[in-house]
């Protein structure tokens, strides 16, 4: 989906605008300064156009950190979105922080819309017009709170927003898109450097592809891959506060552009909550997943036994992901990444014909019927695979299936069809 990003100082009304665009009345979260939001990207729809909205303002810094954090938000927005909405509070006018961001935004070729917010009635429009002098073109006066002007703004946005994301356009025939993810210091840039050094970095334009400077195309295992948001990996951002939010923002935005994620884990360190959170973001995004256990050169026998126990405990829910044990430093087993990526993508693309899927369901129900519930038994009438990427199934039933039974169906699907490296989605339509 095409990506729209919202950037702006704290308190200019970004959350209100997000709610307005998504057509929700309630606040995303209350605006508590310094609070990190879990979610930064939302799926939206406007007059039948679907898009992803990235709210870069989930973290509201204190006065000291404002410039750095707003600049970091702008940077992510520029790198990883198709259109940027830059929100200014028209009742305050442009501040020094705003001008700082404007300098960054003026350098990008991506469309930037200057949104003059809090213009609650026509009398305030001259204040909005004064923002012309920022050099970002015509300001769009809106009232995010009351909805005034938002439809006009979106009409203009959708005139320039591509139907599909600039990167996703290469879906057919272009190199497959890989996000390298992991918490700081797991070895993302080391892996990237090693891959880029040992293999050929593809600099020439490939037929039918456009090069995006935030991505890198690298040939691995005889095939060209597109590593998305390598700019974000190579660029070291030092934030006094909000570093976690920044990392999460980059992760979610990169996933938006990727088809498969390689999540790096550092085997010399215990598996952390942050590792698990990153993996959960991949699952939520529905992308294919490969787990790369890095720094294998640092592993001794004791740590190794402990590691296996940790994996069993903390990463049991993604036991279906291909696993490679690598060392970005020595280059150990880096070549194993390629088959792992290929397997995961193949599973992600898999489609099971409806006939076969229903034969599978019939057999499964015969061998293991759904447990009786209050003397009744929900029946599965019919099932079909609604989509791939990731494989998404719909079951038509006569009642809700127990969560345990749904997990059982998923397990059986994996046993029979593999689905190595891809999440599976199982939806239900209950017919009374």
User: Which residues are CB-neighbours of 400 under 8 A, at least 6 positions away?
Assistant: 378, 428, 430
The SS3 assignment for 224 reads strand
Q: Which residue is nearest to ligand GDP (CB)?
A: 187
Output the smallest distance, CB 257 to ligand GDP, in A: 18
The SS3 assignment for 44 reads strand
203 is in an annotated binding site: no
Alpha-carbon span 416 to 74, nearest angstrom: 46
152 is in an annotated binding site: no
Compare residues 185 and 210 and give the one whose CB is closer to ligand GDP: 185
User: Which residues are CB-neighbours of 317 under 8 A, at least 6 positions away?
Assistant: none
**What's the helix, strand, coil split of the chain in %, to 5?**
40, 20, 40
8 is in an annotated binding site: yes
Output the smallest distance, CB 326 to ligand GDP, in A: 7
297 is in an annotated binding site: yes
Output the smallest distance, CB 335 to ligand GDP, in A: 15
The conformational region for residue 419 under phi > 0 = left, psi -120 to 50 = alpha, else beta, is left
- Rounded to 5°, the CA angle 33-39-42 comes to 120
Is the four-CA dihedral 226, 228, 233, 237 of positive or negative sign?
positive
204 is in an annotated binding site: no
Compare residues 187 and 322 and give the one whose CB is closer to ligand GDP: 187
Compare residues 190 and 272 and give the one whose CB is closer to ligand GDP: 190
Q: Are 289 and 178 in contact (CB under 8 A)?
A: no
189 is in an annotated binding site: yes
* Phi, psi of 123, deg, nearest 5: -65, -20
52 is in an annotated binding site: no
Compare residues 51 and 225 and give the one whose CB is closer to ligand GDP: 225
Compare residues 137 and 184 and give the one whose CB is closer to ligand GDP: 184
Interacting residue ranges for ligand GDP, rule: CB under 6 A: 182, 184-190, 233, 294-295, 297-298, 327-329
Output the smallest distance, CB 184 to ligand GDP, in A: 5
Annotated binding residues: 8-15, 55-59, 117-120, 182-189, 229-233, 294-297
């Amino acid at each position: 989906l095409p990506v729209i990003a919202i950037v702006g100082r704290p308190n200019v009304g970004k959350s209100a605008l997000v709610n307005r665009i998504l057509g929700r009345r309630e606040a995303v979260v209350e605006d508590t300064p310094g609070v990190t939001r879990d979610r930064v990207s939302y799926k939206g729809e406007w007059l039948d156009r679907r898009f992803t909205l990235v709210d870069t303002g989930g973290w509201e810094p204190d006065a000291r950190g404002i410039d750095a954090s707003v600049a970091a938000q702008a940077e992510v927005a520029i790198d990883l979105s198709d259109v940027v909405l830059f929100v200014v509070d028209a009742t305050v006018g442009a501040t020094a922080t705003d001008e700082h961001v404007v300098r960054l935004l003026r350098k990008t070729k991506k469309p930037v819309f200057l949104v003059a917010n809090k213009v609650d009635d026509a009398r305030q429009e001259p204040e909005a017009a004064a923002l012309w002098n920022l050099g970002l073109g015509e300001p769009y006066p809106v009232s995010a709170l009351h909805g005034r002007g938002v439809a006009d703004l979106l009409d203009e946005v959708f005139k320039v927003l591509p139907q599909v994301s600039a990167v996703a356009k290469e879906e057919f025939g272009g190199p497959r898109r890989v996000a390298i993810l992991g918490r700081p210091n797991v070895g993302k840039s080391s892996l990237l450097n090693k891959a880029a050094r040992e293999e050929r970095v593809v600099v020439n334009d490939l037929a039918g592809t456009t090069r995006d400077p935030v991505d890198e195309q690298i040939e691995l295992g005889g095939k060209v891959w597109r590593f998305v948001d390598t700019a974000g990996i190579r660029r070291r951002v030092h934030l006094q506060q909000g570093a976690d939010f920044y990392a999460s923002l980059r992760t979610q935005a990169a996933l938006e552009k990727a088809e498969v994620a390689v999540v790096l884990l550092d085997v010399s360190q215990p598996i952390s909550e942050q590792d698990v959170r990153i993996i959960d973001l991949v699952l939520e995004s529905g992308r294919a997943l490969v787990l790369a256990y890095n720094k294998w050169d640092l592993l001794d026998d004791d740590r190794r036994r402990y590691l296996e126990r940790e994996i069993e405990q903390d990463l049991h829910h993604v036991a279906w992901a291909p696993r490679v044990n690598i060392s970005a430093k020595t280059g150990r087993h880096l070549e194993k990444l390629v088959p792992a990526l290929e397997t995961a993508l193949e599973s992600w693309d898999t489609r099971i014909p409806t006939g076969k899927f229903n034969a599978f369901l019939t057999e499964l129900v015969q061998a293991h019927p759904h447990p009786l519930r209050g003397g009744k038994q929900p029946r599965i009438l019919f099932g079909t695979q609604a989509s791939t990427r990731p494989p998404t199934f719909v079951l038509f039933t006569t009642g809700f299936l127990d969560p345990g039974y749904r997990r059982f169906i998923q397990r059986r699907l994996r046993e029979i069809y593999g689905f190595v490296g891809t999440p599976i989605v199982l939806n239900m339509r209950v017919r009374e």
